[in-house]
Structure 1
């Protein structure tokens, strides 16, 4: 749901203080109703953004119904809150953002899209090919594009395999810093460091620190292998 407090989604993201949690919903892993229930539970617990997408098995046929179900669930929660003067209905104004595997996994009902370049892919399709195919759809649908550099780190998981990525190892701090500088130079708003869905270990803290030190302008997201609060901290 588009927040009423900011003019666009990227401004909403920048307005968040400190670290925030994003839930990733894979439409290939759950029905639209189950996905919506998970999002309501996550937002109730403090999640401030919802990503919808996956590394494989997603297309408009499952992405769009999932996005619609999540939006409708948030609308209902907001309406319920509006009936109680003690509750803040804007609490439920949490953006639903596409995190697509490619140009076929889109929805016009999303609030925004992570318009990403898989920067360390060896396949040009993930550098610019899918983006070129998806751009007209995004423009026509009026979905806000948020430029994002996407870098897959070891162990990489399914994302690394599908994206044909040359994985960034834990000791390659200078390389990840260079990727951060490159992302900033391209004008991206976000840098996403990915360990891979289901990864046994998250992105190494040294890589995160190096990326953060290299650019204080980028919004830094980290995903994969984060299984509990202690790991997130």
Structure 2
């Protein structure tokens, strides 16, 4: 089984390096817009392209992903809301188990439906503990999943949930404030989780500025995911800012811990 992406994510945690993932909603992203994002991503140090969402209205993902693959060597990873969003042209899939909720359909039910499609498909499967965090207002993910998010001021609940996911054998934890979140997940919660798990931590939701990204990376996130902010960034200035912030963090790290 292909494990290149799994090894890439794991190396982030072990090396202390940071990564950027851009999330494209196939219902809102034309091929032309995707090509624009790809050009900016390649120029400014983006590591992964995620495609998908909690709810997709049409089947555009099945044409968008192959078109993107024809334009870039960056890994394209599915972020599926349902098995209908699985397309074999992708490099990998975040096989999400919603461990913050108690909805059996999203803990294992949808996975049973998707398993025959994924087995032997060539898509690298990345078992991921998905945790919804309250960041100020109801989101599509909350509504569609029919679950309550973890309260923003309860880092101990997030920590115990993440540890449980790690002990169950999941390969990364994704804490998400949801699309259009009012604010990002607190640095207290991020640090509490990151400092106690040995698998990569992905953070998404409410990341709108370079300062947000720096704060979240410094708190312990290995990967940040930016989606909604791309929709209001036609110039690509935010992607450039993220790339600059990542380079700054890596430069600081090399000064503090020079390679021998």
TM-score range (shorter-chain normalised) is 0.7 to 0.9
Task: Flag as ranges the 4+ runs of structure 1 deviating above 3 A.
Answer: none
3-state SS of 2:19 partner? coil
2:51 aligned partner: 52
Unaligned runs of 5+ in 1: 1-5, 75-92
What is the TM-score when the length of structure 2 is the normalising length? Answer: 0.76
3-state SS of 1:148 partner? strand
- Number of residue equivalences: 208
CA distance in 2 between partners of 1:94 and 1:103 (Å): 23
Residues 177-230 of structure 1, C-alpha deviations (whole Å, 9 max, x = no match): 101111111111110000011111011111111111221x21100001000110
| CA displacement at 1:231 relative to structure 2 | 0.6
Contact residue 96 and residue 112 of structure 1 kept, 8 A: yes
Within the candidate set 81, 89, 108, 1:128 is matched to: 108
Query: Given the alignment of the two structures, is residue 226 of structure 1 paired with residue 207 of structure 2, yes or no?
Result: yes
1:14 aligned partner: 10
CA distance in 2 between partners of 1:154 and 1:126 (Å): 18
Within the candidate set 193, 206, 211, 2:188 is matched to: 206
What RMSD, in angstroms, separates the aligned Cα atoms of the two structures?
1.6
Within the candidate set 164, 180, 186, 2:162 is matched to: 180
CA distance in 1 between partners of 2:185 and 2:3 (Å): 32
CA distance in 2 between partners of 1:40 and 1:12 (Å): 22
CA distance in 1 between partners of 2:39 and 2:119 (Å): 29
| CA displacement at 1:58 relative to structure 2 | 5.1
